[in-house]
């Protein structure tokens, strides 16, 4: 059955952005999930990015993230764009900076929408745009002593 859009819960919330942050402390999936709780949401999509032990065929020994001072403003711009283009009831995104270890959470994003398909699409757009447009850089140090910087934008 196609949605009729005759209930206020079928539309985007007036202010769906609930949590945006760039932090140098460990991230919490529970905090992000709680931030997007909304009684009108039928679907919540959550993405968790973790530090893996390899990249491009090399063993990662250490990793750090840094960001430009404008990063939180750019994160807000990305979030606002997603909220305009999807019926977002609630949205949250946090990214870690500083030194991280393999297995640490690097980024957690979540989007709540009236329906699951919208939630999946909006969450995918949010994480993809965050990684491409927010000035956060990854410094990888490999076990063989080499290193590289990876720019998010």
* Rounded (5°) CA angle 124-130-135: 165
- Average pLDDT score over residue span 49-59: 94
CA–CA dist 148, 137 (Å, integer): 10
Mean pLDDT of 54-70: 94
Query: In which residue are the tokens 């491009």 written?
Result: 56
Average pLDDT, the chain: 93
| pTM for this model (two decimals) | 0.91
Distance, in Å, from the CA atom of 21 to the CA atom of 105, rounded to the nearest integer, reads 14
> For residue 3, is pLDDT > 90?
no
Give pLDDT, residue 1. Answer: 45
- Give the pLDDT band (50/70/90) at residue 153: very low
Compute the average pLDDT of residues 31-35: 98
Question: What is the C-alpha to C-alpha distance for residues 137 and 128, in angstroms, rounded to an integer?
Answer: 15
Q: Say if residue 117's pLDDT is above 60.
A: yes
Question: 46 pLDDT exceeds 80?
Answer: yes
63-100 pLDDT, tens digit per residue, is: 999 999 999 999 999 999 999 999 999 999 999 999 99
- pLDDT for 65 equals 98
pLDDT for residue 111: 98
- Is residue 148's pLDDT more than 60? yes
């Amino acid at each position: 059955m196609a949605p009729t859009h005759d209930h206020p819960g079928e539309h985007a919330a007036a202010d769906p952005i609930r949590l945006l942050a760039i932090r140098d402390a460990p991230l919490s999936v529970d905090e992000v999930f709680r931030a997007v709780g909304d009684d009108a949401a039928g679907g919540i999509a959550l993405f968790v990015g973790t530090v893996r032990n390899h990249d491009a065929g090399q063993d990662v020994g250490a990793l750090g993230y840094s960001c430009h001072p404008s990063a939180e403003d750019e994160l807000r711009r990305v979030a606002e764009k997603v909220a305009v283009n999807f019926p977002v009831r609630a949205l949250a995104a946090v990214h870690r900076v500083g030194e991280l270890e393999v297995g640490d959470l690097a980024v957690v994003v979540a989007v709540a929408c009236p329906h699951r398909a919208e939630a999946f699409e909006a969450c995918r757009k949010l994480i993809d745009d965050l990684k491409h447009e927010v000035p956060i850089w990854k410094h990888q140090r490999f076990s063989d002593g080499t290193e590289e910087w990876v720019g998010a934008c």
